[in-house]
A and B are shown apart, each in its own frame.
Chain A
């Protein structure tokens, strides 16, 4: 799931979400706070630049063709930089689960590097614009939410946006990603890219085409779980509802 709305399913991060929102937080060292503030400001700026570039391109050219090519360097830079978020969880300065963050960032890296970067014919598909718009709005909201939380000045609108935009953006983003992967399938099959065939001395094979099919199928169980988790978090944070979580 490429949407980065997920903030961890464990109690600690749900609590931290609430804590972030109300300005109370675990005691972070000065260096950690300074770094995270810088990181979140930089990412907010990066995705803003992307958004503006996309709008300008469309205003100037009137078409989405060539849009991906024009913003790809910026996209790759900022999306790849997000790998640091896994490190933040690993060293404990962000109280989210490493696994959840890892899955999210990996799925974004997968889309950017293993689909749109590697399969050039699909770069002008409309579905690409669909997920790019979804990601951009989501990330600007998310990173500015974190920035303001770290600065202890969270405008209600940002909090509202963070917990409401996803309702539309998440399914839109997923649709864009799935349609893009689907469009890429014939090219993958024909070229046999990223695939390893038998016989070989390591006695393994890998078929990228079938891998993509399985990836698409995996959205079916994963997307509803993440979506409903965000809905539950939304109810908790915005409306203070006490949800009795199913214990494991």
Chain B
């Protein structure tokens, strides 16, 4: 069996960083990354991007050396992706924050509203309901992160955790401040409005969860396979007939429900910002599906049936 030689150079300076000889032809990029870490321990595999061309796309961990367009002496270019943090860690942190922060406002912890309101309780039913909904939403997210989601990537850049937490925690505090304020005004159309909003919220939470489960079942544990999602027996998944990312559709729906329930502008703004971001993600995902699968259902839109 002929062994390969692998030379790793810095993508920016072209400087030779590492030379590996006697590499198996069936070695994967992942194994090469591990070997590279031995000589440069500060660059653990998750922060390595190896490519065939300094300006080219990153090679995948599963790629096999033998199958790459290289001779028996391969030159790979290395780019440092920066400090990495696991997706699970980021999700847990960014979701635990809002759960906890909202409760601080709900219980009217001192130094927020003025001494005479410390530890008092709102006299509006909708305020208690809102707390339950908000808390349920984030508990659901935490549990899904731990038990449902199957992540394609292990890590993301470290700076993302600061960006993401500022967004989630900041908005949670801003919303919670008004909803739990002693001067909070309940919705204009009273109980009817709250009931309708609650129905929308619950339906969308169930829908979002159904989609997460359906997506999980598409992918075997430990694998990174991608398949076209299709509707299952669960009626909530029938939205797959019309959109590529119904999980985002339901998520927007939940927050619209919550905004109607609380009749609070910061909630509406949070929904709008979230919708904008999820639309960008949905369009990207939709484009990936179209590129990868020739037979992708043509009726589907990224996030809003027929429209967007």
Chain A residues proximal to chain B, CB less than 8 Å: 198-205, 244, 247
Contacts of A200 in B (CB 8 A): 185
Residue B266 CB within 8 A of the other chain: yes
Contacts of B184 in A (CB 8 A): 199, 203
Complex contact B188–A203 (CB within 8 A): no
Residue B138 CB within 8 A of the other chain: no
Residue B262 CB within 8 A of the other chain: yes
Contacts of B181 in A (CB 8 A): 198, 203
Complex CA distance for A198 and B185, rounded to whole angstroms: 9
Given contacts A203-B263, A203-B265, A204-B266, contact A247 B183 (CB under 8 A): no
Complex contact B265–A204 (CB within 8 A): yes
Complex contact B183–A204 (CB within 8 A): no
Complex contact B79–A204 (CB within 8 A): no
Residue B116 CB within 8 A of the other chain: no
Complex contact B178–A204 (CB within 8 A): yes
User: Distance in Å from the Cβ of A244 to the closest Cβ of chain B?
Assistant: 6
Interface string of B175-186 (1 = CB under 8 A from A): 000110101110
Complex contact B178–A205 (CB within 8 A): yes
Complex contact A203–B178 (CB within 8 A): yes
Residue of A nearest to B264 (CB): A203
User: Distance in Å from the Cβ of B239 to the closest Cβ of chain A?
Assistant: 31
Residue B22 CB within 8 A of the other chain: no
Complex contact A202–B263 (CB within 8 A): yes
For the complex with contacts A201-B185, A203-B178, A204-B178, 8 further pairs of A-B residues with Cβ separation under 8 Å are A198-B183, A200-B185, A202-B263, A203-B179, A203-B264, A203-B266, A204-B264, A205-B178
Contacts of A203 in B (CB 8 A): 178-179, 181, 184-185, 262-266
User: Distance in Å from the Cβ of B225 to the closest Cβ of chain A?
Assistant: 29
Complex contact A202–B183 (CB within 8 A): no
User: Distance in Å from the Cβ of A5 to the closest Cβ of chain B?
Assistant: 27
Q: List 20 A-B contacts (CB under 8 A).
A: A198-B178, A198-B183, A199-B185, A200-B185, A201-B188, A202-B264, A202-B265, A203-B178, A203-B179, A203-B181, A203-B184, A203-B185, A203-B263, A203-B264, A203-B265, A204-B178, A204-B264, A204-B265, A244-B12, A247-B79
* Tier of interface size on chain B: 10 to 19
Complex CA distance for A205 and B113, rounded to whole angstroms: 14
Residues of B259-307 contacting chain A, CB below 8 A: 262-266
Contacts of B188 in A (CB 8 A): 201
Which residue, of B183, B262, B263, has the highest number of chain A Cβ atoms within 10 A?
Answer: B183
Complex CA distance for A244 and B263, rounded to whole angstroms: 50
User: Distance in Å from the Cβ of A116 to the closest Cβ of chain B?
Assistant: 28
Contacts of B178 in A (CB 8 A): 198, 203-205
Complex CA distance for A198 and B179, rounded to whole angstroms: 12
Residue of B nearest to A196 (CB): B265
User: Distance in Å from the Cβ of B173 to the closest Cβ of chain A?
Assistant: 14
Interface string of B213-243 (1 = CB under 8 A from A): 0000000000000000000000000000000
Residue of B nearest to A198 (CB): B183
Contacts of A202 in B (CB 8 A): 263-265
6 closest residue pairs by CB, A with B: A204-B265, A199-B183, A203-B264, A198-B183, A203-B178, A202-B265
Contacts of A199 in B (CB 8 A): 183-185
Complex CA distance for A247 and B188, rounded to whole angstroms: 51
Residue of A nearest to B175 (CB): A203
Residue of B nearest to A244 (CB): B12
Contacts of A201 in B (CB 8 A): 185, 188, 263
Contacts of A204 in B (CB 8 A): 178, 264-266
Contacts of B12 in A (CB 8 A): 244, 247
Residues of B1-58 contacting chain A, CB below 8 A: 12
User: Distance in Å from the Cβ of B10 to the closest Cβ of chain A?
Assistant: 11
Contacts of A244 in B (CB 8 A): 12
Residue of A nearest to B265 (CB): A204
User: Distance in Å from the Cβ of A203 to the closest Cβ of chain B?
Assistant: 4
Complex CA distance for A198 and B178, rounded to whole angstroms: 9
Residue of A nearest to B79 (CB): A247
Contacts of B179 in A (CB 8 A): 203
Residues of B172-208 contacting chain A, CB below 8 A: 178-179, 181, 183-185, 188
User: Distance in Å from the Cβ of B74 to the closest Cβ of chain A?
Assistant: 23
Complex CA distance for A202 and B266, rounded to whole angstroms: 9
User: Distance in Å from the Cβ of B71 to the closest Cβ of chain A?
Assistant: 28
Residue of A nearest to B266 (CB): A204
Contacts of B79 in A (CB 8 A): 247
Complex CA distance for A204 and B183, rounded to whole angstroms: 10
User: Distance in Å from the Cβ of B223 to the closest Cβ of chain A?
Assistant: 30
